[in-house]
């Protein structure tokens, strides 16, 4: 028997008992629909995260800090001797800092493209022309993140007096839209060591979208960051350094080891930084996937049940086909195909429905509770995910179909024909 | 065509329920013969037919079809043999009620992997043979008993078999339709040289056959046409 004929026959058999087929498909539909939405939720969150941090595509970049050897909270620790390399934070916690000599040491690590201080500086105000002065966000030295931009471009190491403006400042500073701000100048005021306010003029090279990670930061070029840090006396003590390796293809742990072997440092890759968030998201989505999985598990019993009933009902027909020379394998395929078709139709409809629901939910969410998260699409139904869900469910349906299919293929034609 | 059964013994059940359906049955069927297997129910006549048609395997003995030992054939070859060389007609018809007459007749060709176009042409030819061309598109369920059995004959005929096995072909029919089916079977026997092996209660039908084999308690006795 030709495969195409088996497929056509399977489809025809399904359409013979429409209600039963419909109900079995419905059961699959529920499971597949759940799975489609949970993967869409996971994809949406992951997509947002990737765009917010953008840095999964920045391999070979590490944030380096000193390894804090002695715990500031240890109960047996008495008064500590003053150490100029340790900075007291407002919380009373001592944090070790890095100095230029550390940066020099990091530059010598093999394969390093650049190593530079990662300054996080305090600004006083931002203003455009003669407009209103707004409280300045933290001035952060740009470290190679591929930020989600609304307009303009990212900073390069050749830029001077340039910054990337957060989108929230665009209208406040008097620009019509993000694009209008690009190429314009803004003045940033900051306090120097003598508590005098100095002003530096920057050209806006890019405008970045509002994100929950970089919120409140304004990224400035290396040269400006160095100048301000020097003026504020922070250039000798800073919390972290950025190290970038030349070859991005080298294993991350190898690169990390090179840094930690150099001195008392700990290195965190950008990937690891978002890794925590990613793992939270994947924990939530896999929890939801379990729900979808349970629904599918129940639905697969529906398939077994339906097909077993079908085998009993069609015992004579199967007997006749075997008597007329239908091979066991063909009988097996016939029933297995029916199961796979049920899975296919159920999951295809579920994907389409999931896609439609995602459109609706996203439209609603973007105007309500996700209003402040620009670029966050809650549910993303990607064609790849849809195909994977459909394929997975077809496999599950096939497995569910094997029991009835084996039963059918093993029927003795004479006994089957004799049965009433 | 030759079909030879030598010392066939077929046993059903185990231990206390043991029942010997065929006891040392030997028989030779030659090309183009018409054979009636007669006997009471439970005499083993249906079992004999099943064994001859390679639907059932005997415990002892040998079946040879065209000089080939059927026992040694692989399952797929056996399926192929039934599909290509044998035709089957059953008392209960076993038609798919909701499918068209044409689909029912095409079934053996579909199983045999014949392409759709050729399938249709051959099925229509077989339907013409049983004078049911005009019913090709009808649902099998909408036919009368006599018409149904003629569809079954067309289905048995469609693969150009060498042997047709008929299990009580007139059992469910009135005498007029029974006569028509009988005529049809013998016409195929005479014109196409198809060997007929008929299991029947019907004395009139049996009387038309070249040879009548009587089955009683699994033992075969033969009565020649005078």
Query: Given this model, what pLDDT does residue A47 score?
Result: 79
B32: pLDDT strictly greater than 90: yes
- Joined together, the tokens standing for residue A233 give 């006396």
A71: pLDDT strictly greater than 60: no
Query: Given this model, what pLDDT does residue A72 score?
Result: 42
Counted across chains A and B, CB pairs separated by less than 8 A come out at: 52
Rounded distance between C-alpha atoms, residue A225 and residue A159, angstroms: 11
Rounded distance between C-alpha atoms, residue B168 and residue B33, angstroms: 18
Residue from the list B94, B98, B110 with its beta carbon closest to the beta carbon of A1 = B110
Contacting residues of A for B107, CB less than 8 Å apart = 320-321, 324
The lowest-confidence range among A41-55, A115-129, B159-173 is A41-55
Contacting residues of A for B199, CB less than 8 Å apart = none
Question: Is A325 close to B81, i.e. CB distance below 8 A?
Answer: yes
pLDDT per position as a tens digit, A164-198: 888 888 888 888 888 999 999 999 999 888 888 88
Query: Given this model, what pLDDT does residue A262 score?
Result: 81
What average pLDDT does this structure show over B137-142? Answer: 93
Q: Which CATH architecture has domain B2-224?
A: 3-Layer(aba) Sandwich (3.40)
Query: Which residue is listed with tokens 């940033």?
Result: A188
Residue from the list B82, B96, B113 with its beta carbon closest to the beta carbon of A324 = B82
Query: Given this model, what pLDDT does residue A75 score?
Result: 42
Question: Is A323 close to B82, i.e. CB distance below 8 A?
Answer: yes
Query: Given this model, what pLDDT does residue B49 score?
Result: 92
The lowest-confidence range among A136-140, A267-271, A283-287, A307-311 is A267-271
| Mean pLDDT estimate for chain A | 83
Query: Given this model, what pLDDT does residue A84 score?
Result: 65
| Mean pLDDT estimate for chain B | 91
Residue from the list B80, B83, B96 with its beta carbon closest to the beta carbon of A317 = B96
pLDDT band at A374 (very low <50, low <70, confident <90, very high): low
Give the whole-number percent of chain B exceeding pLDDT 70.
Answer: 99
Q: Please choose, from the candidates A136, A147, A137, A190, the residue with its C-alpha nearest in 3D space to the C-alpha of residue A52.
A: A147
**Cβ atoms A416, A316 nearer than 8 A:** yes
Measure in Å the smallest separation between the Cα of A6 and chain B Cα atoms.
9
Rounded distance between C-alpha atoms, residue B122 and residue B126, angstroms: 6
pLDDT per position as a tens digit, A275-298: 677 777 778 878 888 888 888 888
Contacting residues of B for A330, CB less than 8 Å apart = 111
Q: Does B83 touch chain A (CB under 8 A)?
A: yes
Rounded distance between C-alpha atoms, residue B221 and residue A157, angstroms: 107
Query: Given this model, what pLDDT does residue A214 score?
Result: 57
pLDDT per position as a tens digit, B92-119: 889 998 899 999 999 999 999 999 999 9
A91: pLDDT strictly greater than 70: no
CA angle B144, B147, B151 (to 5 degrees): 130
Give the whole-number percent of chain A exceeding pLDDT 70.
Answer: 86
What average pLDDT does this structure show over A299-326? Answer: 91
Question: Is A325 close to B111, i.e. CB distance below 8 A?
Answer: yes
The dihedrals phi and psi of B63, each to the nearest 5 degrees, come to -115, 125
- Joined together, the tokens standing for residue B88 give 């089957």
Give the whole-number percent of chain A exceeding pLDDT 90.
Answer: 26
Measure in Å the smallest separation between the Cα of B53 and chain A Cα atoms.
9
Residue from the list B55, B107, B111 with its beta carbon closest to the beta carbon of A413 = B55
Torsion, CA A399, CA A400, CA A404, CA A410, rounded to 10 = 20
pLDDT per position as a tens digit, B46-59: 899 999 999 988 99
Chain A: residues touching B (Cβ < 8 Å): 1-2, 5, 9, 16, 316-317, 319-328, 330, 413-414, 417
Query: Given this model, what pLDDT does residue A304 score?
Result: 92
Question: Is B110 close to A5, i.e. CB distance below 8 A?
Answer: yes
Measure in Å the smallest separation between the Cα of A394 and chain B Cα atoms.
25
What average pLDDT does this structure show over B13-31? Answer: 89
Query: Given this model, what pLDDT does residue A90 score?
Result: 43
Q: Does B226 touch chain A (CB under 8 A)?
A: no
The dihedrals phi and psi of B109, each to the nearest 5 degrees, come to -70, -35
Q: Does B120 touch chain A (CB under 8 A)?
A: no
Question: Is A325 close to B112, i.e. CB distance below 8 A?
Answer: yes
pLDDT band at A255 (very low <50, low <70, confident <90, very high): confident
The lowest-confidence range among A26-40, A47-61, A109-123, A293-307 is A47-61
Question: Is B110 close to A317, i.e. CB distance below 8 A?
Answer: no
Region of A182 (left: φ > 0; alpha: ψ -120 to 50; beta: rest) is beta
Q: How is A32-48 classified by DSSP, letter by letter? A: HHHHHHHHHHHHHHHHH
The lowest-confidence range among A55-59, A91-95, A118-122, B188-192 is A91-95
């Amino acid at each position: 028997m030709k495969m195409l004929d088996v497929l056509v026959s399977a489809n025809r058999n399904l359409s013979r008992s429409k209600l039963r087929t419909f109900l079995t498909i419905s059961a699959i539909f529920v499971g597949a629909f759940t799975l489609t939405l949970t993967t869409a939720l996971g994809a949406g969150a992951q997509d947002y995260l990737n765009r917010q941090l953008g840095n999964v595509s920045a391999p070979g970049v590490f944030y380096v800090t000193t390894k804090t050897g002695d715990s500031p909270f240890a109960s047996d620790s008495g008064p500590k001797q003053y150490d100029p390399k340790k900075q007291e934070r407002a919380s009373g916690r001592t944090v070790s800092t890095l100095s230029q000599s550390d940066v020099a040491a990091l530059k010598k690590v093999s394969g390093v493209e650049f190593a530079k201080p990662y300054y996080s500086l305090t600004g006083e105000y931002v203003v455009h022309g003669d407009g209103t002065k707004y409280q300045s966000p933290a001035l952060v030295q740009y470290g190679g993140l591929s930020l989600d931009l609304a307009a303009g471009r990212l900073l390069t190491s050749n830029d001077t007096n340039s910054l990337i403006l957060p989108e929230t400042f665009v209208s406040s500073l008097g620009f019509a839209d993000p694009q209008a701000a690009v190429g314009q100048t803004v003045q940033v005021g900051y306090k120097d060591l003598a508590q005098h306010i100095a002003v530096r003029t920057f050209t806006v090279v890019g405008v970045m979208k509002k994100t929950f990670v970089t919120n409140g930061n304004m990224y400035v070029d290396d040269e400006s960051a160095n100048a301000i840090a020097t003026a504020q006396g922070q250039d000798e003590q800073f919390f972290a350094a950025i190290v970038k390796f030349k070859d991005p293809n080298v294993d991350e742990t190898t690169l990390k080891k090179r840094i930690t072997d150099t001195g008392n440092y700990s290195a965190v890759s950008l990937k690891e930084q978002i890794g925590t968030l990613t793992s939270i998201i994947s924990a939530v989505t896999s929890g939801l996937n379990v729900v979808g999985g349970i629904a599918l598990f129940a639905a697969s019993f529906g398939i077994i049940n339906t097909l077993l009933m079908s085998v009993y009902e069609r015992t004579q027909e199967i007997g006749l086909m075997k008597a007329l020379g239908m091979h066991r394998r063909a009988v097996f395929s016939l029933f297995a195909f029916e199961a796979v078709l049920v899975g296919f139709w159920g999951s295809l409809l579920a994907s389409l429905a999931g896609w439609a629901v995602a459109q609706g939910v996203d439209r609603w969410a973007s105007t309500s509770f996700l209003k402040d998260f620009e670029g966050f699409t809650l549910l993303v139904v990607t064609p790849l995910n849809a195909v994977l869900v459909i394929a997975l469910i077809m496999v599950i349906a096939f497995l569910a179909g094997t029991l009835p299919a084996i039963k059918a293929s093993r029927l003795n034609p004479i006994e089957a024909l004799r049965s009433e | 065509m030759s079909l030879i059964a030598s010392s066939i013994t077929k046993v059903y059940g185990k231990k206390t329920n043991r029942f010997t359906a065929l006891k040392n049955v030997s028989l030779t069927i030659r090309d183009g013969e018409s054979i009636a297997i007669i006997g009471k129910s439970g005499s083993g006549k249906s079992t004999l037919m099943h064994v001859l048609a390679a639907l059932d395997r005997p415990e002892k003995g040998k079946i040879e079809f065209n000089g080939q030992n059927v026992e040694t054939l692989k399952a797929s070859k056996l399926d192929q043999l039934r599909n290509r060389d044998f035709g089957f007609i059953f008392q209960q018809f076993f038609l798919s009620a909701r499918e068209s007459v044409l689909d029912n007749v095409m079934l053996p060709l579909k199983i045999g992997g014949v392409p759709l176009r050729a399938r249709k042409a051959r099925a229509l030819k077989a339907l013409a043979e049983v004078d049911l061309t005009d019913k090709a598109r009808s649902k099998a369920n909408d036919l009368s008993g006599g018409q149904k059995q003629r569809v079954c004959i067309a289905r048995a005929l469609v693969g150009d078999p060498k042997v047709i096995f008929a299990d009580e072909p007139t059992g469910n029919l009135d005498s007029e339709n029974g006569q028509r089916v009988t005529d049809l079977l013998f016409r195929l026997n005479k014109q196409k040289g198809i060997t007929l092996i008929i299991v029947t209660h019907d004395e009139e039908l049996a009387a038309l056959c070249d040879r009548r084999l009587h089955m009683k308690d699994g033992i075969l006795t033969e009565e020649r046409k005078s």
